[in-house]
Structure 1
């Protein structure tokens, strides 16, 4: 599919380093990593607002802000996110909040003629039992994982809105679907975090207190793929400068490990020497979630940060910020 800007066919290339670049969600795990990557690449006019400064669920406020800053580029990294417990307990919040955030930001970007938008989704958009590794064309081919289906539906809507803008207005907007992300500025809340930051906090607390054991949810057998946020940010800039197409692009490492293996790795990094127990009465979630990253590789990008290196960096960051991280 060919897209056009002002009637001229669009060819991806180096972005204007002097143009205004709005990162929605610039304080979060992914957004903050994108800001760091853009700064290192020489972008001079990166803008963003905290949720306290700008409620992205407030349509009028979003339109007013976008009209004021007039960005040329937008990355939509803002979202209400959480782990299995949060998603299964508050499905209305995850559906409603994310739908409003997405519709407001994307509509405001369209109203202000934003040239290039990158919408970030989640690998949970794919069916629970999708063939592994999961290809982009698996979207909407089966039932979703019920513990996070509301969040997934919202993200699917964001993909379709991005595609609809391409069809109706010819703008070169794209979307990317990251695998499980981790790194600095993650949510380490005991009740709202994803599996990896939750495990880091649990094992680090146990190591510090000298606890004899740690109990994790499920059986430990599900397989998961993990990507450091700095790698994700690098992939985002690469896609903006090298990819244009209607299909969402999977972003991951192309390899996975079991939850049990990742728990053992975290125990080693944090120095925990006790026993690990598994509460099999709690849900496992999707049995495996490994992305096919062939499309990303064809675009010229592969992950660089190994899981061990990324874990050591994340644990070090967590320990440096444990007194100030969000709950």
Structure 2
């Protein structure tokens, strides 16, 4: 283990407060998807990461896929993805992911990828081609790309932007004061610039803040304003849950009342879409949140994606 991981492991895994819980409601759509995923040997982040929101998202035919392999070339102290030498580049992966989306009959797919600093294009083509393949094979499915920063390179980012995902997401995750300690291979200002570049390309933009990693309350407000000033349309705010003893200990448990306060604050700042809550994740109910943001922006929702604007679709894990 790294020295940092040894130090982290000296603190036992924390007991979660009573308000952090989810109810497993296994509806017919979820059960059908579960059987399909098992039967076809499909892989989603949802089940492999044990996401607490899988029941709700799968019931609404939304799922998240990880591309680029299972090893990341960067290490963030909150992330459970392993750091190491990545697997060989798999150029057929975009087709297979799109095929999985088809088999699962998804309404909205989020695609995220590990950092691939070992590649000349850092995986930009892989991200873009996955979006293109999903759109080509599934014209009624919205696609959100949750991307690394591609070192802020406009040419690499432009390759991803050219695939025209419904949403381009890049997560800042934490506040400037502790950013370098928690995300040493990233830079706060560069992450904001990535979002600005996506906004300039005409894309709906999105980011995420994780609370409970050592930030102070006023710093969260400052980060929200930074994100909005950078051109972020959608923001999600969530509680840090420690994956293993090797990871950063939880600094605080944010109460639902503070999430409600932050939700109102973010809306007042001017974000088009906001979700805040202990179990909200950046890809949680992403399709519904995109549709809400499109409506707020005054943009038309393409007819083939109109189902995502169903007013009856809610957000069980979000506070308001």
Same fold, TM exceeding 0.5? no
Larger Cα-atom Rg? 1
TM bucket, shorter chain? 0.3 to 0.5
Q: Which has the higher contact order (CA 8 A, sep 6+)?
A: 1
| TM-score, normalised relative to structure 1 | 0.35
